[in-house]
Chains A and B, each alone.
Chain A
């Protein structure tokens, strides 16, 4: 009798676990409705006059870490970042720079101190500000969510993929975002 009861309890627990896994209700946090859709992909944007149209993740990392300072046309690269706390900034640090916020700040400070970086990245308050900055500065590079894109900026291919493509490599993790 006791063994039967244990088997039943184990089966119930296994069924609940399987249901929880399939519904995504992990840790009691639910994803937004559009999580996983292409709108949440992180688009890398440059000025319309920029001739570059395709970058690899590695090239992107060297640019955002200040290890590369000029575009092929000779224009100085100006990095545009959103303020701390934006999920887009977090996604870029995680997926491109593979760093935490603290590591990234240390890296930038180090680069400025050593002269590797000419100017610190420009920090803007909103995706609109990022777009306007990139529109005004020919050598600027920034990032916005795909849903914040408009025709004032140019979207780069990353690893040959555009944000609309299913296998686009950069995503904004909106879990925990209210």
Chain B
């Protein structure tokens, strides 16, 4: 009882640790992958949004440079043009020639600013409409300046009446034309500013929508990734729970059957049903076999727990395969005999020794053979073949059956601990799902591996690969050298 409790608790601990590790690994990789995806998506969308904002900013700058500065420039031109005319007319208010000259200077300084401003406008004019307007303004301004010069001359000469006549006849209309030209240019700037403003407005609105979309997508991706991680963890927890249930059910069944047999045998003996020595021997043999079966099961579980927790240390030595094979055949001889199985064996004569732990390799091979017995179906034939792969420098031990075989979709899962094929479960073939996992763990711990080939209804071949021992390698080389030397001498 104590043994059973101990074995089950160890196995459960191992199972929990494994499932927890698997679940965490899945979650960790999944969450890392999802985080990277979310980051990349967010980065891409962020770059897109930033680019969009830069476009809006550029448009706003263009609007300011072209429209706002342009309007200010036109405003300055309007002021300076007015100043030109105002200064000219101020000269009429005095008879002092020196003051009149000062006004004339002011007028000329203002007109120089206007002329330079028009030239600058023409230089920056980009569209034909602007260029045409600029040339009109230039011509009208030149006309006005001619009249302004005449008016100034008349004022300086002292002919105020003549100056006023000249200004009324020529100055006023020509200055009106200049004013209209400037107003037209201003209107053009206003229109362009309105267009630019509309463009900036549209772009800003679009950028805001895109930004909202980016944020929404990023948050959605983050939520989805969190949900996926949580779901992955939940799935791992559910898988663990299911495995626990399956394992407990399987172990219970595996233990209950032999224990029932033992109890029945013991009751029969106690009740005096067994009345002769021959029957007693039969019951004793039955109890012994069932006890061995339970012990094997418990040992299997304990060994798996030890390999999972990496507590099992193997002493690798040079082992002849025949020794391992003898142990296995001895251990399973009763099973073979009772089941009526035929065991075919073939070992290469030159098979080198293996570098392995004899007991562990025996356990490994025995697991495969028991597995073959379990699933060999009606063929009742099992083959064990050992050969040397010189290319890989390994000994290949093949365990073959002609049983029910394994579907291709199952092949990658059969070495998972506690895994049992649904078809096998449905066929009421009992097992813990630890045999193959334990065999592969043992092989890998000895620098080897187990490969599988299978066809449904044709059978399976499990191949154990174990390294050749160094001493054996040297012997093989020496032998090869001797053979080569003798053939050369011949």
Contacts and interface: CB of A to CB of B under 8 A. Distances in A.
Interface of A: 76, 78, 119, 122-125, 129, 132-133, 136-140
Return the 7 tightest CB-CB contacts between A and B, nearest first.
Answer: A119-B158, A122-B97, A137-B153, A137-B156, A78-B157, A132-B101, A125-B98
B109 to A, nearest CB: 12
Contacts of A123: 97
Contacts of B97: 122-124, 129, 133
20 contacts: A76-B157, A78-B156, A78-B158, A119-B159, A122-B97, A122-B158, A123-B97, A124-B97, A124-B101, A129-B97, A129-B98, A132-B101, A133-B101, A136-B152, A136-B153, A137-B156, A138-B153, A139-B157, A140-B156, A140-B157
Given A129-B97, A129-B101, A136-B101, A122 B153 contact: no
Given A124-B97, A124-B101, A133 B156 contact: yes
B104 interface: yes
B176 interface: no
Interface in B277-314: none
A133 B157 CA distance: 9
Interface in B102-137: 104-105
A122 B156 CA distance: 9
A124 B99 CA distance: 10
Contact of A136 (B156, B158, B159): B156
Nearest to A134: B156
A139 B150 CA distance: 11
Given A122-B158, A136-B153, A139-B153, 15 more contacts: A78-B157, A78-B158, A122-B97, A124-B97, A124-B101, A129-B97, A129-B98, A129-B101, A132-B104, A133-B97, A133-B101, A136-B101, A136-B104, A139-B157, A140-B156
Interface in B327-364: none
Question: For chain B, what secondary structure do more than half of its interface residues adopt (helix, strand, loop), or is it mixed?
Answer: helix
Nearest to A80: B97
A15 to B, nearest CB: 53
A94 B149 CA distance: 34
Nearest to B101: A132
A119 B154 CA distance: 12
Contacts of B152: 136
Centre residue among A78, A129, A136, A138 by max chain B CB count within 10 A: A136
Contacts of A119: 157-159
A136 B105 CA distance: 10
A125 B100 CA distance: 12
A117 B153 CA distance: 18
Nearest to A77: B157
A122 B158 CA distance: 9
A124 B158 CA distance: 14
Nearest to B156: A137
A107 to B, nearest CB: 19
Contacts of B104: 132, 136
A142 to B, nearest CB: 11
A136 B102 CA distance: 12
A132 B159 CA distance: 18
A133 B153 CA distance: 9
A119 B153 CA distance: 14
Nearest to B91: A136
A138 B156 CA distance: 10
A164 B431 CA distance: 133
B154 to A, nearest CB: 9
Contacts of A138: 153
Interface string B142-182: 00000001001100111100000000000000000000000
Nearest to B154: A137
Contacts of A136: 101, 104, 149, 152-153, 156
A140 B105 CA distance: 17
Contacts of B156: 78, 122, 133, 136-137, 140
Contacts of A133: 97, 101, 156
A119 B157 CA distance: 8
Centre residue among B101, B149, B158 by max chain A CB count within 10 A: B101
Contacts of B101: 124, 129, 132-133, 136
Contacts of B98: 124-125, 129
A124 to B, nearest CB: 6
B103 to A, nearest CB: 10
A49 to B, nearest CB: 10
A73 to B, nearest CB: 14
A138 B162 CA distance: 15
Centre residue among B98, B105, B158, B159 by max chain A CB count within 10 A: B98
B13 to A, nearest CB: 111
